[in-house]
C-alpha cells in the first residue's frame, strides 16, 4: 500500500511539472547598462517623462528599486565586469578602470593590450585582463559559437567587457574622431560599421547639433538651480574636445541607438531560434563631468532625453524582432561623478588628503624602525605598494610591516581606516571589510588600502583636475527585467548585481559564468 501511494504521488508530481511548460527562450537578450543612473533621480523626475520609456518599464517590467554592488570603490569598468561575470573584482580582476602594474610600477588601463591593433583607433585593446568568463562567453560555448554577441557603448572598457572573450564585436566611440571603433582581438570588423563610419558617423552631423532644454525651464524644479536662463550648448564650439563633450551628454544615447539599428538591419542577430546577446550602454551622468550643482537643469534634461532614447530603442526592437522574443535587462553602473567640495559655507567637516606626502612619511617611519631603504615602492589611488624584494632581502616579516604601516597611517588627518593586505585576506569578517575585500585583488591591489573620511578631498599632485571628493553615501540604482515572459512587479528588497548573470543564464538555459556563485534572483523572469 505504501509503495502504491508513493507511485501515485510520483506520477502526480511529474504530471504537475509537465503541465507547467517553461517560457520560450528569448531570441535576443539585451543588456542595457546606463552609466550613473540613479533610482532616486529617475523617480523624482517622472513628471517630465513620456509614456513609452521609464513609465512603461515601471508598468510592465519586474523592477528592483534597490540594486547593490557588493564591493567598494565601484567605477564604470569594475561595474560592467561585475554585471557580466556575476562576481566581484577579487575574482574577475577588474578592480578599476586603471590600476598600478606591480611589475612596471606604472598605471595600466584595464583593457590595454599591445598584442592587438585598433580599428578606427590607435588604441590597442582586448579583454585579456578580465580573469573569468562572462555570460556572453557562456552563451557562445552553449551554442557552439552559433549565438551572436555584440556590444555597443560610448566607452572602450564597457564595450569590451560586455562583449567578453568570445564576442563577435565590441564597438565604442573614438574620443578624437567620433567614429565607431574596435580592436583586432575580435577577428572581424563588420563591413556595415565601416560603411556607417564613412557615410553616417556623428562627425558629419555634430556641427548641426545644439543642446537646449526639451521642456520650459520652469518645469526643471527637482534639483537646486541658480541660473535664470535656459542652457544652450553647441558641441563643436570646442573643436578639440567636441566628441568628448558629446560622449558626456545625453546625445550619445541616440548615437548608440543609431548603430544598434544598423546592427539589427545588417546582421542576423535575433533572427533565428538560437539565443543572441546585445549589450548596450547609455550615459546619464553630468554634462562634461561637471558637478550636479553646476548643471542641475542639464541633469534633469538628461533624464528626459534618456527616457526618449529608451522609448525609441524599445520601439525599434519591437518592430525588428518583437518584444515578446526579447528579454531586456536594464541597470546602472552604481556610481556618480565626484561632487564639488564644501568651501566652509555650511561648516561641513573636510580637508585635503595628500597620498604622496603620506607615502613619504610612511617610508621615513619604516626606515626608523627597520633601517635604511626604500620600503614604499609606489603609491596609487589610495593604495601604497611596499618593496617586497627589499623586505625579503632584509629577512623581515611582510605581514608585520603591513600591520605596523597600517597603524602608522591611522594617525594621519582625514584617514578613517587603513587596511593591510594581510588583514583583508586573513582577518576577521565585518560587513565593511567584506565590501573592501571583494574589491581587492591580491595581484593587482596594494599592500595598504587607505579609507579617507567623507567630505575630504583626495589631492592628485600631478593632475589637480583629478582631485576627488569622498562621498560614501548609498546610491540607489535600479534593476529592471522587461519583455519575454516577464510579469510586472516592483520589488523594494535590495538585490545584488551579482544575481544578473545567473538570472540571464537561467532564462537562456545555459551555465552561469565560471566564477559566479550567486543564484538567480528571487524574482527572475
Q: Which of 20-24, 133-137, 289-293, 305-309 has the lowest mean pLDDT?
A: 20-24
Paired strand residues for 30? 278, 328
73 belongs to a structural domain = yes
- The SS3 assignment for 334 reads coil
Paired strand residues for 35? 283
Domain carrying residue 235: 30-339+478-508
Q: Note whether 163 and 182 are same-domain residues.
A: yes
Q: Note whether 175 and 72 are same-domain residues.
A: yes
Cβ atoms of 142 and 25 within 8 Å: the answer is no
* DSSP state letter for 250: T
Query: Can you read off the three cell numbers belonging to residue 244?
Result: 568628448
Q: Note whether 148 and 41 are same-domain residues.
A: yes
Q: Note whether 306 and 405 are same-domain residues.
A: no
Write the CATH number for 47.
3.40.720.10
Q: Note whether 460 and 482 are same-domain residues.
A: no
- State yes or no: pLDDT of 6 exceeds 50: no
- The SS3 assignment for 173 reads strand
Q: Note whether 362 and 263 are same-domain residues.
A: no
Q: How far, in Å, CA of 4 to CA of 11, rounded?
A: 11
225 belongs to a structural domain = yes
Q: Note whether 465 and 485 are same-domain residues.
A: no
- The SS3 assignment for 302 reads helix
Q: What confidence score (pLDDT) does residue 429 get?
A: 86
Mean pLDDT (whole number) for 214-235: 90
Cβ atoms of 452 and 470 within 8 Å: the answer is yes
First-residue to last-residue Cα distance in the chain: 41
17 belongs to a structural domain = no
Q: Which positions ≥6 away from 240 have C-beta within 8 Å?
A: none
- State yes or no: pLDDT of 358 exceeds 90: yes
Asked which of 418, 448, 469 is the last residue of a domain, the reply is 469
Residue 195: φ, ψ to 5°: -60, -40
Q: How far, in Å, CA of 192 to CA of 265, rounded?
A: 10
Q: How far, in Å, CA of 363 to CA of 239, rounded?
A: 45
Q: How far, in Å, CA of 60 to CA of 334, rounded?
A: 23
Q: Which residue has the cell 520652469?
A: 218
Q: How far, in Å, CA of 480 to CA of 487, rounded?
A: 11
Paired strand residues for 112? 125
- List alpha helices for 221-341, DSSP H: 242-247, 251-266, 296-320
Write the CATH number for 373.
3.30.1360.150
274 belongs to a structural domain = yes
- State yes or no: pLDDT of 195 exceeds 80: yes
Q: What confidence score (pLDDT) does residue 483 get?
A: 95
236 or 193, greater pLDDT: 193
- The SS3 assignment for 417 reads strand
223 belongs to a structural domain = yes
Q: Note whether 65 and 158 are same-domain residues.
A: yes
Q: Note whether 377 and 425 are same-domain residues.
A: yes
Query: Can you read off the three cell numbers belonging to residue 193?
Result: 560599421
Q: How far, in Å, CA of 203 to CA of 393, rounded?
A: 57
81 belongs to a structural domain = yes
Mean pLDDT (whole number) for 181-186: 98
What's the pLDDT tens digit per position in 34-83? 999 999 999 999 999 999 999 999 999 999 999 999 999 999 999 999 99
Cβ atoms of 348 and 525 within 8 Å: the answer is no
24 belongs to a structural domain = no
Task: Please state, rounded to an integer, the average pLDDT across all residues of the chain.
Answer: 93
How many domains, the chain?
2
402 belongs to a structural domain = yes
Q: What confidence score (pLDDT) does residue 169 get?
A: 97
* H or E, element range at 152: strand 149-153
Whether the full predicted model's pTM is greater than 0.75, yes or no, is: yes
Q: What confidence score (pLDDT) does residue 291 get?
A: 80
Amino acid at each position: 500500500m505504501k509503495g502504491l501511494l508513493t507511485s501515485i504521488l510520483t506520477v502526480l508530481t511529474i504530471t504537475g511539472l509537465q503541465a507547467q511548460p517553461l517560457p520560450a527562450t528569448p531570441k535576443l537578450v539585451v543588456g542595457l547598462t546606463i552609466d550613473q543612473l540613479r533610482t532616486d533621480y529617475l523617480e523624482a523626475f517622472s513628471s517630465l517623462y513620456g509614456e513609452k520609456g521609464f513609465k512603461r518599464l515601471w508598468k510592465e517590467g519586474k523592477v528592483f528599486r534597490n540594486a547593490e554592488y557588493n564591493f567598494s570603490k565601484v567605477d564604470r569598468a569594475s561595474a560592467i565586469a561585475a554585471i557580466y561575470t556575476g562576481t566581484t573584482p577579487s575574482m574577475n580582476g577588474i578592480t578599476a578602470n586603471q590600476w598600478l602594474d606591480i611589475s612596471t610600477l606604472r598605471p595600466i588601463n584595464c583593457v590595454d593590450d599591445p598584442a592587438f591593433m585598433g580599428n578606427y583607433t590607435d588604441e590597442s585593446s582586448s579583454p585579456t585582463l578580465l580573469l573569468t568568463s562572462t555570460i556572453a562567453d557562456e552563451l557562445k560555448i552553449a551554442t557552439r559559437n552559433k549565438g551572436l554577441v555584440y556590444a555597443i557603448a560610448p566607452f572602450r572598457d564597457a564595450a569590451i567587457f560586455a562583449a567578453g572573450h568570445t564576442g563577435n564585436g565590441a564597438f565604442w566611440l573614438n574620443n578624437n574622431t567620433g567614429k565607431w571603433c574596435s580592436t583586432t582581438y575580435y577577428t572581424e570588423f563588420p563591413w556595415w560599421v565601416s560603411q556607417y563610419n564613412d557615410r553616417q558617423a556623428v562627425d558629419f552631423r555634430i556641427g548641426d547639433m545644439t543642446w537646449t532644454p526639451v521642456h520650459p525651464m520652469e518645469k526643471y524644479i527637482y534639483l537646486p538651480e541658480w541660473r535664470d536662463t535656459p542652457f544652450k550648448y553647441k558641441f563643436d564650439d570646442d573643436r578639440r574636445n567636441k566628441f568628448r563633450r558629446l560622449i558626456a551628454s545625453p546625445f550619445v544615447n541616440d548615437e548608440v541607438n543609431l548603430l544598434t539599428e544598423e546592427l539589427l538591419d545588417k546582421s542576423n542577430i535575433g533572427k533565428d531560434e538560437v539565443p543572441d546577446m546585445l549589450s548596450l550602454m547609455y550615459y546619464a551622468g553630468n554634462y562634461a563631468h561637471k558637478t550636479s550643482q553646476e548643471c542641475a537643469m542639464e541633469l534633469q534634461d538628461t533624464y528626459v532625453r534618456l527616457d526618449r532614447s529608451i522609448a525609441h530603442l524599445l520601439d525599434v526592437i519591437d518592430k525588428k524582432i518583437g518584444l515578446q522574443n526579447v528579454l531586456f535587462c536594464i541597470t546602472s553602473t552604481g556610481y556618480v561623478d565626484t561632487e564639488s567640495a564644501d568651501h566652509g559655507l555650511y561648516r561641513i567637516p573636510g580637508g585635503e588628503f595628500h597620498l604622496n606626502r603620506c607615502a613619504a612619511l610612511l617610508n621615513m617611519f619604516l626606515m626608523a624602525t627597520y633601517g635604511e631603504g626604500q620600503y614604499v615602492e609606489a603609491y596609487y589611488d589610495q593604495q601604497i605598494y611596499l618593496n617586497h624584494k627589499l623586505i625579503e632581502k632584509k629577512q623581515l616579516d611582510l605581514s608585520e610591516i603591513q600591520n605596523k604601516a597600517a597603524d602608522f597611517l591611522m594617525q594621519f588627518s582625514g584617514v578613517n581606516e587603513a587596511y593591510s593586505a594581510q588583514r583583508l585576506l586573513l582577518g576577521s569578517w565585518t560587513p565593511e571589510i567584506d565590501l573592501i575585500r571583494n574589491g581587492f585583488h591580491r595581484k593587482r591591489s596594494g599592500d595598504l588600502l587607505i579609507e579617507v573620511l567623507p567630505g575630504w578631498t583626495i589631492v592628485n599632485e600631478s593632475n589637480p583636475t583629478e582631485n576627488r571628493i569622498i562621498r560614501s553615501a548609498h546610491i540607489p540604482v535600479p534593476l529592471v527585467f522587461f519583455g519575454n515572459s516577464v510579469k510586472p512587479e516592483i520589488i523594494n528588497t535590495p538585490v545584488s548585481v551579482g544575481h544578473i548573470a545567473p538570472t540571464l543564464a537561467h532564462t537562456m538555459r545555459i551555465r552561469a559564468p565560471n566564477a559566479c556563485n550567486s543564484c538567480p534572483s528571487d524574482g527572475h523572469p
